[in-house]
Structure formats: C-alpha cells, structure tokens
Amino acid sequence: MELKSNHSSPVLTDPTPLNKSRLGIHSNLLSYPQSGGSLSSGKYITIPRKKPGKLDDVRSNGWLDAMKSSSPPRKKLIKDINIEVAAADDIDIAYCSWMIKYPSALKSFDQISKNAKNKKIAVFLDYDGTLSPIVDDPDRAFMSDSMRSAVRNVAKYFPTAIISGRSRDKVYELVGLTELYYAGSHGMDIMSPVSHTGSNGHTNCIRSTDQQGKEVNLFQPAREFIPMIDEVFKTLVENTKDIKGAKVENHKFCASVHYRNVEEKNWPTIAQCVHDILKDYPRLRLTHGRKVLEIRPVIDWNKGKAVQFLLESLGLSDRDDVLPIYIGDDKTDEDAFKVLREGNRGYGILVSPVPKESKAFYSLRDPSEVEYVDAQEFWLSTELDAVSALSEIVPDTVIFDDFEKFPPTAATVSSSLLLGILSLPDTIFRNAVDMALADSTCSALDNHELRLSCFVNKALVNVGGDLAKLVPGRVSTEVDARLAYDTHGIIRRVHDLLKLYNDVNVPPERLLFKIPSTWQGIEASRLLESEGIQTHLTFVYSFAQAAAAAQAGASVIQIFVGRLRDWARNHSGDPEIDAAIQRGEDPGLALVTKAYNYIHKYGHKSKLMAAAVRNKQDLFSLLGVDYIIAPLKVLQSLKESVTAPDEKYSYVRRLSPQSAASYNFTAEELVKFDQLSLASSMGPASVELLAAGLDGYVNQAKRVEELFDKIWPPPNV
C-alpha cells in the first residue's frame, strides 16, 4: 500500500516520436484487421465538411437511443410544489430500492474494512463525476479543495491512480498532485514505475523520465493513432462549429464531442457528424459517456486493462493480499468494475445519483460522498491497521502465546522454538515434539548423533506442519547452523526436510528454509532456488551480503536492525556503519533501506525482512519493506493507538519502488559478488555479528539435542 510521496509521479514530457518497430505495436492488440487510411504512408484521408442528410443512419443504428439513455434529463423546476415533492419521493424510493443491490460504501464500511484487513489497498479513481461534479464546461470541472485534500491523504497510505478519459496532461493539470499515478485516454496513456519486472517487458512500454528526472515507463498502446485522432479532431471542430453548445476535445488518443449544452433537437445533427466521419475511419470506434460521444482506436484496451497493467507495474497483481478499489461514475468505468468483480479481486464503487445497472459492488450518491474515502478516517482505525496496510507485520514470539490477539501471517520453526516448547509442557505443540521422539525410523538408528539429528529434524517438521495449518503464509524452517560453511551439507539437509514435510502433506510452496548468509550459505541458496526451493537467508549485516543474497535469488533476506545499532554503540571502525552515522542515519535502518532500494531498482525477486525492531519509531521508519518482525509490546502499543501519530513519526511509506528507482549506487556496489569479493567487502560488524549469530544457533541446536537425549525414549514408547 503505498504511502506518502514516494509515489511521486508527475506528468511526463513525451519522448521523441517513435516508429512502430521501436514501439512494438502488435496486431493482436487490434480487435479486427487494420483497414482504411494508411498510417505508414504519411497520408491521411481528409474528410470534407458535410451537411446532415435525413439522419436515417443515426436513428436506425440506435445512436440516438444510446445518447438519451446515457444522458439522464436534468431536474426541471416545477411550479407546483406538490408535484415536485411527489417526483422527488418517487426518485428516492427507486434509489433506495436500487441500493439494496448496490449498498452505500459509507454504510458498508464495516464489511469493506473487514475484507481489507491485512491486505494492501490500491485505489483507482475516475475524474469527471467522481472527483469533480459534471459541469456544462469540461474545462471548468474543478476539484474542490476538500476533495484534493482527501485524495492527497489517500495517496499517503495507498498507491493511488487516476484513470480518466481526458488526456493525461489535462487530468494532471486539474488534479496537480505528484503523489498519484495518471492514466489518460481511458488507459491508453499510462505512466508507471520501472522497478517491477512484470510490466517493464511489455511490448508497448518505453523508458522515459518525468519532470523530476526519475526514470519511468510510458505505456501508449495506441501511439500510432495520434495523427489519425488529430485529423478527426480537426474535422469534428469544423463540422460542428455551427451547432450551438457543441464542444470538441482532443484527448491525444481519443476525441470527444460534448453535447451537454446542445438542444436535444440538434442531437441527431451531432450524431450524424460523428457517424459520417467514422465511416471513413474503420479503425476508430464510438463509445458513449454522460452526454459525450467519444471516438477512440479499435484496440483491445480499456480502463479495466489499465487497472490490471498498473497493478502489475506496482508488483500487486495476482496476489491474495491485495485489495484494489475503483471509484467511478461513467459507462467507461464498467470495464474496471468488471475486472475487479471477476474472481472477487476487489471492489468497484459506482458514483451515481440515479439507479442504473452496474458491475460495481457498492455505490456513492455524488462526489461529495467520495470525499469521505479519507485514508485516516475511513479506512484506518488503529496504528496497527495503518502499518499493516504498508508492510506485513509478523509478531516476534517464540511459542505463539498471543496467537489470538496477534494472529501471525507467517511463522518460523527453529531450535529456539523447540526449546520454548520443551520448557512449557502444556503448549499445543508439545504433542508434535513427542510424536517426533516416538518416530520408529529415527529410533532404529544405531548411531547416537544421527539418531538425535533425526529426532530434531522430525520435531522441526512436525511443529512446522502444525504451524502451516495455523498461518496463511509460509513456514520457514531453520537449517542446522553447524552446516553454515558446507554448501552441499545445507542442500542435503534441505532435501531431507522437504521429504519429511511431504510426509505431513505440506507442499513446497508453503515452505522456506532458513540458511545463514555465509558465502557457502548464499551458494546453497542459489542452487536450491534454481530447483524451485524457496530459501530464507539470515544473519545479513552488510550491504555486500544483502546484494549477494539478492543476486543468488533468495526468496527472503533478513536483516537484524537493532543488532547493528547495538554494535555501533560500542564499536567503531566499520566503514559502512561509520558512513551511515556520519549521514545522521541509524546503521540498521540505513542497511534495510539500501538493500530494499537495490532489490527493487535492479529487479531482483527477493523479499526483505526487517527483524530486531526495538520500538514504534523503528517500525514507522521501515514502512514499505516486505516484512517487519515486531515485538509484542510494540504491537500492543500500535493496537491501542487510535490517534494519528505526529508528523515526525507518521505512518507513511518510507520505502517504495519509486524511491528505489532514484537511488544511486557506486560501481563497487554493483559488482557480481563471489567468495573473495564478499569477504573483502564485509566489515568488522558483519563478520562479528555473523559469527555471534552462528554461535547462538549452534548452542541452541546442541541444547535441544541434549534435552532430547535426556527425555528419550518418551514414557509411552
């Protein structure tokens, strides 16, 4: 859920003209074969101004009926007050009946909030009729100050995009918020981030820069139609100039004819003008809006596909933990509503003062109600809700004693957890350990060390299997730290654990394997990931380790924030830490930020986990990172806080793909790490902390084996 101004995305200056081969335009974007005036020859059909004929064409093909159905009549002032009240009552009764199917989003807050829990929200907004009222002059469709403030507040917490039929430049001019993404011409002109690999390789994406000099993707699937739209626009202006009230707009990739101020008796004339032009442009088509006729290219693209493209660009597509919300009022917004309704992916909210059929789930009566979609007051109820919208928060607890109060989304099974279970006989996981000690395969082993190792592996897997039933996410299983410098030993142990997990019916996609970030551990991660086995690299205390882990393709990289801070308080002489302190930065937070930016700027698949978080301020400073392991006392404080934090510690996104794109790395930091370069790049802090972490894990593993040796065999074996 994106946050604050890290979503910065001002309007672009288009790059130099491009040819088709560079654009990568493909015929499969077109819904039927290209015909009509050639675009490649540089010559275009000139449409002479025509006088309307009998207007049989527009009547017979239903254009006029469509114009009337998409243009509800204005309220008329009725002198007879009783008649006016009766008419109003009829409208209210019909609207109330309609709201049974499309309930008010405001009154349905509890249901929406419940479904949004622990999910990342992405917000998509139409402009005209949603953020601004429908007015007679489209150039005067201004947002109110309160609406702009509400949208700005939403964008602080969630990635927010405006998808409008207007040109992207025009809608940016009207909105003027750099925190948003903008998609113009019904999604045929989209600016998106470059940090996620999903949309970067799209055939119609080109690399460009925004007005702040940041690198972005520019997606314009109908770019070759610009000359054609320009010509149609000029012809429409000429052919409608004598029709009082008609207004023609060029939205770059589509043209529109507004007839809001045209007397209804002249609507057929407007329709005939458009009809006559379209006859000569078979690669263009007509769509209807609220008292507007729109001419756009015949390509398989609409606002629904724009939503999908933006979700992909933000790394939010095909994820169960994402809730897209689209608010719009127009017929063209139905494509977006349909996309979100399919598979219950998200919610469409229709803004309409009158009943009409829609693919939306909920409704709002007018733009004034849209203002209530204020991130802080409408969506968020506690600080814990707020931060959970930006990063996945994992409770830092050994035996899940607060499972109901703070239900975890993921879990780790380790020697430390086994020690906790053994110290509390009544825990729900004790039976899993007892069953491991009763395992006949392990018991049959003659070698004492092999038998104990077998018991430990079985206990880890039994507990991990129980945890997999309790958490929706993945379970990470610790690999014996005594194998930290043995690449093939790590791989063999992971394969053994996988077989045991298969016996308890836990599929590989639900599993991670936690490996120390020695060079041998990183190599093991690379080889395991190449097999499709997910790894979790821990004890990362330097940028070199983080970069090497990302290059290896580790699924999760874990950095201990507080441990680096503790080391810096009592030591000096580490170049990386000293540089962070000289910049006035906390060394742990600085490493997480740098690693996040590296992963996202260069398209690595790794997710980043921040551990050893000591307080709320640490957590606020890391919002946007994939996972934060937080102590229960911090979670309790967040859950009890329902007031907005002050500006210094406000819960806005600190880490984002957009900020990562502008981060600069030195040539030395961009090397492909090998064993020698990794060793030479690790400072004293990472060397000492890695060794200390390994010693701690080894001691815990030995302690578990000692306890197992004392209690084996169990009384019932």
Domains and CATH numbers, the chain: 90-215+301-379 (3.40.50.1000), 226-297 (3.30.70.1020), 383-707 (3.20.20.70)
Residues 180/7, Cβ–Cβ less than 8 Å: yes
- pLDDT for 286-304, tens place per residue? 988 888 899 999 999 999 9
Decide if 405 is catalytic: no
Higher model confidence: residue 317 or residue 591? 591
Res. 325: pLDDT tops 60: yes
Q: Residue 385's pLDDT band (boundaries 50, 70, 90)?
A: confident
Res. 246: pLDDT tops 90: yes
CA distances from 599 to 167, 531, 642, 658, 680 (A): 33, 21, 34, 12, 21
Res. 77: pLDDT tops 70: no
Res. 62: pLDDT tops 80: no
What mean pLDDT value characterizes the chain?
A: 83
Question: How many Cα atoms sit within 13 Å of 124 on the Cβ side?
Answer: 35
Beta-sheet pairing, 347-351 with 362-364: parallel
- Torsion (CA) 182, 187, 193, 198 in degrees, nearest 10: 160
Q: Of the residues 514, 594, 601, 616, which is catalytic?
A: 514
Q: What is the pLDDT of residue 604?
A: 97
How remote is the C-alpha of 581 from its chain's centroid? 33
Q: What is the mean pLDDT of residues 204-232?
A: 82
Residues 182/171, Cβ–Cβ less than 8 Å: yes
Q: Give all strands (DSSP E) within 282-365, no chain letters.
A: 284-289, 292-297, 322-328, 347-351, 362-364
Res. 83: pLDDT tops 80: no
Minimal CA–CA distance to 511: which of 493, 522, 497?
497
- pLDDT for 440-479, tens place per residue? 999 999 999 999 999 999 999 999 999 999 888 999 999 9
Q: What is the mean pLDDT of residues 314-321?
A: 84
Residues 194/661, Cβ–Cβ less than 8 Å: yes
Higher model confidence: residue 638 or residue 608? 608
Q: What is the mean pLDDT of residues 337-366?
A: 92
Q: What is the mean pLDDT of residues 640-662?
A: 69
DSSP β-bridge partners for residue 559:
540, 610
Radius of gyration of the chain (CA): 30
- pLDDT for 161-180, tens place per residue? 999 999 999 999 999 998 88
